[in-house]
Amino acid sequence: MAPPHGVFDEFCARFPYEETEDQLSAIGDVLRQPGWWQADRLSAAGNYVEIHAGGKVHLVREPLAKLAAQLDAGEFIRVHRSHVVKLTAIAELQPMFHGDYELVLRNGERLALSRRYKALLPPAIRERL
């Protein structure tokens, strides 16, 4: 699998300086990893966002809301103020207390689904709750 056309150029355009040879090599290494751009979830981590993709975690210094706005709304959903999840990564929903739920992802990770974001779930998922 190759990254979508133009991803490298778009990434480089965000920075006003030239990369060193080491930096270009590191960027090339990341681009050659299959599926690095196909995140399963994003999580806020202070001033950073953890992008969970291909079994690895990549840190990006961007607000979660800004990155979430760039994702396909048909594929990703905000489930908590700190988490955005790919719909196909959700294995099950387990009820908790006071209308909250816990998401169990296909990789076994568990995330909170807050009442506030439960209303944003697609109707097909919401009807099963």
Choice among 28-32, 47-51, 100-104 with the minimum mean pLDDT: 28-32
In sequence order, what are the beta bridge partners of 84?
Answer: 42, 78
Element (H, E) at 114: none
pLDDT number for residue 111 = 93
Q: Lowest mean pLDDT: which of 20-29, 58-67, 73-82? A: 20-29
Summarised one tens digit per residue, pLDDT across range 80-92 is: 999 999 988 888 8
pLDDT of 91 = 87
**CA 14 to CA 123: how far, in whole Å?**
37
First and final CA of the chain: distance in angstroms?
A: 36
Confidence (pLDDT) at 1: 45
Chain mean position to CA 13: 22
- The pLDDT confidence band at residue 28, using thresholds 50, 70 and 90, is low
